[in-house]
Amino acid sequence: MTRTSVLEYEPTKIEAYDFRRAMEEASRCLLCEDAPCSKGCPAKTDPGKFIRSIRLKNVNGAAETIRENNILGASCALICPQEKLCEKECSRTGIDRPIQIGKLQQFAMEHERALDKTYLSKKDTYTGKRVACIGSGPASLACAADLAKEGVEVTIFEEHQKIGGMLRYTIPPFRLPDSVLDQDISQLEKLGVKFELNHRVTPAELKYLQQEYDQVFVGAGTWQPKKLPIPGADLPGVVLALDFLAQAKENHKEMAPLGDVVIIGGGDVGMDCAATSKLLGATSIYNVFLESLEGAPAVQSEKDFVFKLGISLISEFKPVEFIGNGKVEKVKFQHITNESTILLKCDTVILAVGQKMSEDTCSLKESEHIFIGGDMANGGNTAVQAIGEGRIAAAKIMESFK
């Protein structure tokens, strides 16, 4: 693959359901009265209801249900770990296999995009209340959407030049194309949500916003990458996962050849780094992590994609030293339960070992006029979890107005 493939390759397009396949899959639904799949969705997207609509050939109704409950419905269809949430709870799991909820959601959202429809509505009159949302990740976007539908004037402050937070800047296009994220964000614009871009809110300004707005929601995310406290960690060639993914997405044509790549971390970010390295033409790639292959936190679909690309996964090893003379050249690993070691030659090492809050936000606490959600609250969970927290915060904010 050429370097442009990192922007053009979209396997989700190949696997998407057409009308016939969507109807066949929806017909497998048992129409459970208690809908355990809906109970398994942190964002309350209500798959039990939208699958029933698809089964009745009411695709408009399915899209309306998704969009009403999840402002990021199109994005979540592609990146949400359904196998660990709604599909895991599906009643058909004990019979044969769960309903492919993510693909049915993608089908309904593609229907929305094809018709360029808007299913959301807001109250005709404003409440007179104003809310500021800090950050434009899933939690803030969900909070803003629910508030805007209730007639609240919402302004989102984002330090980058584009809306979407980590969904925009770190998830590769082969998992989440910009066009799909833009589809979701356009719904917020139609609700009247305002955006202040290239605007980093400082702690001092946060105090000012508490005076200017009736309430403030902070969903600034965990943008500070974690490092490893081992010898050689500061050698040139050792890069942080978020920096690597952002550069690959925004400026991949200008990147130097990666050569032999070693990725450390078995989560979704680590798998994204591995696949991106492959699409950028790395000579060899090893993804090494502490957990067993089954226990690695990445969703199975991510692992499967990496396998299909021919990338080597090495489980149950921890890094103990980065070795090099002026630049990283090798990484030494030790098995987590015995004394065996391996030495991997490399030109690039990518650390995908997690993120934390910045110094500006790590001491921030909820108060009477500040609400917190997303990765700041849960330490770095899924986008759908952040959406759920943003919606809960919106409900609390509306309650505070009474």
Whole-prediction pTM? 0.91
- The answer to the question of residue 201 being in a domain is yes
Antiparallel, parallel or unpaired: β 224-225 and 355-356: antiparallel
The DSSP 8-state label assigned to residue 367 in this structure reads B
For the chain, the domain total comes to 3
Residues 374 and 291 in one domain: no
Decide if pLDDT at 360 tops 70. Answer: no
- 125 compared with 235, residue with greater pLDDT: 235
- The answer to the question of residue 3 being in a domain is no
Query: Residue 396 contacts by C-beta under 8 Å, 6 or more apart in sequence?
Result: 371
Contact in structure between 293 and 287 (CB atoms under 8 Å): no
Distance CA 268, CA 270 (A): 5
Residues 68 and 98 in one domain: yes
What is the mean predicted confidence (pLDDT) over 347-360?
85
Decide if pLDDT at 8 tops 80. Answer: no
- Residue 234: Cβ within 10 Å count: 9
CATH number, position 78: 1.10.1060.10
- The answer to the question of residue 2 being in a domain is no
- The answer to the question of residue 216 being in a domain is yes
Residues 370 and 297 in one domain: no
Antiparallel, parallel or unpaired: β 260-264 and 284-289: parallel
What is the span of the domain harbouring residue 156?
130-223+357-400
Dig out the tokens for 388 from the structure. 């759920």
Q: Please report the DSSP string for 125-189 in residue order.
A: S--S-EEEEES-SHHHHHHHHHHHHTT-EEEEE-SSSSSSTHHHHTS-TTTS-HHHHHHHHHHHH
CATH number, position 204: 3.50.50.60
Distance CA 264, CA 349 (A): 8
Residues 337 and 379 in one domain: no
Determine the pLDDT at residue 359: 63
Residues 283 and 382 in one domain: no
Residues 338 and 243 in one domain: yes
- The answer to the question of residue 5 being in a domain is no
Residues 59 and 175 in one domain: no
Q: What is the pLDDT of residues 176-229, one digit of tens each?
A: 999 999 999 999 999 999 999 999 998 889 999 999 999 999 998 777 788 899
- The answer to the question of residue 315 being in a domain is yes
Residues 237 and 316 in one domain: yes
Given the structure tokens 């950028």, which residue do they identify? 280
Distance CA 155, CA 134 (A): 9
For residues 255-273, b (16+ Cβ closer than 10 Å) or e, as one string? eeebebbbbbbbbbbbbbb
The gap between the terminal CA atoms of the chain, to the nearest Å, is 57
Q: What is the pLDDT of residues 95-121, one digit of tens each?
A: 999 999 999 999 999 999 999 888 888
Dig out the tokens for 21 from the structure. 């396949």
Between the CA of residue 49 and those of 30, 33, 117, 118, 223, what are the distances in Å? 12, 10, 20, 19, 35
- Residue 44: Cβ within 10 Å count: 15
- The answer to the question of residue 192 being in a domain is yes
Residues 92 and 210 in one domain: no
- The answer to the question of residue 299 being in a domain is yes
Residues 232 and 301 in one domain: yes
Residues 334 and 246 in one domain: yes
- Average model confidence (pLDDT) for the chain? 91
